[in-house]
Amino acid sequence: MHVTSSVRPPLVTGGKKYEDVTQDICKQVEGAPSTAWKIAFSFSVLIFIYGGYCLWMTWYDGIGMWGLNKTIGWSWDITNFVWWVGIGHAGTLISAVLLLFRQKWRTSINRAAEAMTIFAVICAATFIIAHMGRPWLGYWVLPLPNAFGSLWVNFNSALMWDVFAISTYFSVSLLFWYVGLIPDFATIRERATGIRRVIYGALSFNWDGSAKTWSRYEAVSLVLAGVATPLVLSVHTIVSMDFATSIIPGWHTTIFPPYFVAGAIFSGFAMVLSLMLVTRVLYNLEDYITIEHIESMNKIILTTGSIVGIAYLTEFFMAWYSGVYYEAFAFQNRAFGPYWWAYASMMTCNVVTPQLFWFRKIRRSLVWTFILSIIVNIGMWFERFVIICTSLSRDFIPSSWAMFSPTMYDVGDFLFTFGLFFTCFLLFAKYFPVINMAEVKAIMKSSSEKKQ
Amino acid sequence: MEKANNFLVGIYDDEDVLLDAVGKVKKSGVKIYECYTPFPVHGLDDAMGYNYSNLPIVGFLCGMTGTICALVMMIGMMGFDWPMDIGGRPYIPLPDFIPITFELTVLLCAFGMTISFFIVSNLNPWSTPRMFDPRSVDHKFVMAIDLADNKQDAASITTILKGSGATEVNKKSFE
């Protein structure tokens, strides 16, 4: 039996009963889409279509449509990829790591955060496929014998590790998310009639909620959380190795894996907050996603943001302390070179502004949280841009130095992923239960506000 | 098709009452068919006398299969089938194989265990579940008693269920 200290603030407010949870969450799935939803959905689809056109042109004419040049061979594509993958770290972290740590506040946010993870990883994969130039040959990254004999892929390459890491992360996150959804689909099934009952019946996988099945479900969840935890850490570690195993000054550092993982959690939580604050208002979920939840997430943002800040300073220190001329130049150039504005944006958004979360009032303010979460995401995009573009723009031979300017196709492909992400998220928010009803009910005895 | 099964269904309002009731009902010599709850109730599996699931062992074995497959694949391809001389480095650089070995271990462990869970618990999109009471996936806690399994008659079992805290006792039969 769980015992929770009475001084802990309740995680479910409003004196809810079990049936209220079902009613509050299911009514969003069962009702007709609201006007706000329809407007948001149409807008996302429009962006998706415009971005789809740009992506099609990129595929049709090749990646010459991007603003890449001989010096800067990787730019927005990889920046966007790393940014999306980073965002995709919060979901599985919340559901797996916080499950292992028995953090009960995870139950209200894990469902939406995991959905966000899955969509973010799909967006990230879009850039991987697109930057291949010939996406129809994408299967060449798999260990298949090629047409000229059995020349295999090179398993020494960090890019190859990435293929396995991202695809494993995507499939395991999807599995984890779906297993969690099954009991809730059963709840919706029992309330539905007609064709909806057939659809949710199939989605609910014959779930009846028997004690034996729950016992197995718990065993499976625990082991899945156990294997997903190192998986989350491994994914961004491997993404960072795409850079760290190269010999480009500014990339070739051993601090990259922990620093990227902290940055990923940082941006992931910021995105969860941006999305959940809006969902919370539109769906009247104030009793389930309370100020306590928001404050807990802000504390994680503050911690990871500070880790990222220390990593930035450590990089600078190492550039000087190592005595390597190229490394020192790379970092001087980052801060004071032609991309100083990107660096300054990164520092302001990632290091300075999140420190405001030291103030309890700001941590518990919805408006401040929303603004800072957006700022963090902008900052994290700049972080990847700074790492990738400033290092590449200053080649070893000064005659090769170049700058990068994006074309409309760079911008359009980025917009495509936004369209895709929000279209998927809105569909999820309408047709799937946004809060894990079964898990919220399970913590209510210990963590809910009692009706007076 | 097996013959119609007749069940008595005790409905409880609270998980702790159900948990106590399982003990009480068992003590009075009634065999419980199964309990159904809207969320996992801790201690219910012990009360019902279920052993801890073997699924983690299945997960471990599947994970090991992943480890072995990954190593055999990479050592076979890079060490034997088409060795590549990359700056004179070893043909079988084991540290470089760690990431993919780890990923395949996790992948096979997760999928192997979850698919086994679906199979043993008969979870699939094409079956229709036997619901003793639709409220058991919403807010009620349900205890089902198979009359064919018990010597006592329905009336005395109903009294036992009511005595253990059930707010309703219904009859339910399945074809």
Q: Residues of B numbered 22-61 whose beta carbons fall under 8 angstroms of chain A's beta carbons: which are they? A: 34-45, 48, 50, 52-53, 55-56, 59
The CATH number for A238's domain is 1.20.1630.10
What's the pLDDT score for residue A6?
66
Mean pLDDT of A271-281: 93
A71: domain range? 18-444
pLDDT (tens digit, 9 = 90+) per residue, A248-267?
999 999 999 999 999 999 99
Q: Which residues, in sequence order, are CB contacts of A202 under 8 Å at separation 6+?
A: B125, B126
Mean pLDDT of B3-26: 90
Report if residue A451 sits inside a domain.
Answer: no
Amino acid at A220: V
Tell me how close the Cα of B49 comes to any Cα of chain A, in angstroms.
Answer: 10
What's the pLDDT score for residue B116?
97
- How far, in Å, CA of B101 to CA of B74, rounded? 9
Cβ contact, residue pair B117, A231, below 8 Å: no
What's the pLDDT score for residue A139?
87
Amino acid at B34: E
pLDDT band with cut points at 50, 70 and 90 for residue B1: very low
Angle (nearest 5°) at CA B133 between B130 and B136: 100
Domains and CATH numbers, chain B: 5-52+131-174 (3.30.70.260), 55-120 (no CATH)
Give alpha helix (H) positions in A386-436. 391-393, 408-431
CB nearest A168 (choices: B15, B106, B121): B106
Other residues' Cβ atoms within 10 Å of the Cβ of residue A124:
23
Q: Which residues, in sequence order, are CB contacts of A291 under 8 Å at separation 6+?
A: A364, A366
Mean pLDDT of A232-240: 94
3-state secondary structure of A295: helix
Tell me how close the Cα of B48 comes to any Cα of chain A, in angstroms.
Answer: 8
Query: Average model confidence (pLDDT) for chain B?
Result: 92
% of chain A beyond a pLDDT of 90: 83
- Residue with tokens 């198979």, as numbered in its chain: B146
pLDDT (tens digit, 9 = 90+) per residue, A124-173?
999 999 999 899 988 888 888 776 666 888 899 999 999 999 999 999 99
Tell me how close the Cα of A404 comes to any Cα of chain B, in angstroms.
Answer: 33
- Residue B123 reports pLDDT greater than 90: yes
- Residue with tokens 């699939």, as numbered in its chain: B124
Kind plus residue range of the DSSP H or E element containing B171: strand B168-174
Give alpha helix (H) positions in chain B. 15-27, 44-47, 55-74, 94-120, 154-163
pLDDT (tens digit, 9 = 90+) per residue, A298-331?
999 999 999 999 999 999 999 999 999 999 999 9
Amino acid at A357: F
pLDDT (tens digit, 9 = 90+) per residue, B46-78?
999 999 899 999 999 999 999 999 999 999 999
Do residues B8 and B147 touch, judged by C-beta distance below 8 A? yes
3-state secondary structure of B174: strand
Q: What is the 3-state secondary structure (H, E, C) of A229-285?
A: HHHHHHHHHHHHHHHHCCCCCCCCCCCHHHHHHHHHHHHHHHHHHHHHHHHHHHCCC
Cβ contact, residue pair B103, A201, below 8 Å: no
Query: Looking at the complex, does the CB of residue B127 fall below 8 Å from at least one CB of chain A?
Result: yes
Query: Average model confidence (pLDDT) for chain A?
Result: 92
Do residues A164 and B105 touch, judged by C-beta distance below 8 A? no
What's the pLDDT score for residue B85?
87
Q: Which residues in chain A are closer than 8 Å to B99, comparing Cβ atoms?
A: 161, 164-165, 234, 238, 241
Report if residue A78 sits inside a domain.
Answer: yes
Residue closest to A277 by CA, chosen among A370, A382, A167: A370
Mean pLDDT of B16-20: 93
Report if residue A28 sits inside a domain.
Answer: yes
Nearest chain B residue to A192 by CA: give it: B134
How many alpha carbons lie under 13 Å from residue B88 in its C-beta half-sphere? 0
Report if residue A353 sits inside a domain.
Answer: yes
Do residues B75 and B92 touch, judged by C-beta distance below 8 A? yes
Q: Which residues in chain B are closer than 8 Å to A179, comparing Cβ atoms?
A: 114, 117
ipTM: 0.94
What's the pLDDT score for residue B174?
84
> Domains in chain A: how many in total?
1
Cβ contact, residue pair A227, B139, below 8 Å: no
- Residue A357 reports pLDDT greater than 80: yes
pLDDT band with cut points at 50, 70 and 90 for residue A201: very high
Do residues A346 and A250 touch, judged by C-beta distance below 8 A? no
Q: Cα dist. A219→A392, B40, B49 in Å?
A: 48, 11, 16
* DSSP per-residue string spanning B37-59: -SSPPTTHHHHTTPPPPSHHHHH
**What would the two tokens of residue A71 be?**
């010096």
Cβ contact, residue pair A190, B137, below 8 Å: yes
Q: Which residues, in sequence order, are CB contacts of A282 under 8 Å at separation 6+?
A: A34, A36, A37
Report if residue A13 sits inside a domain.
Answer: no
pLDDT band with cut points at 50, 70 and 90 for residue A9: confident
| Backbone φ/ψ region at A395: left (φ over 0), alpha (ψ -120 to 50), beta | beta
- Residue B3 reports pLDDT greater than 70: no
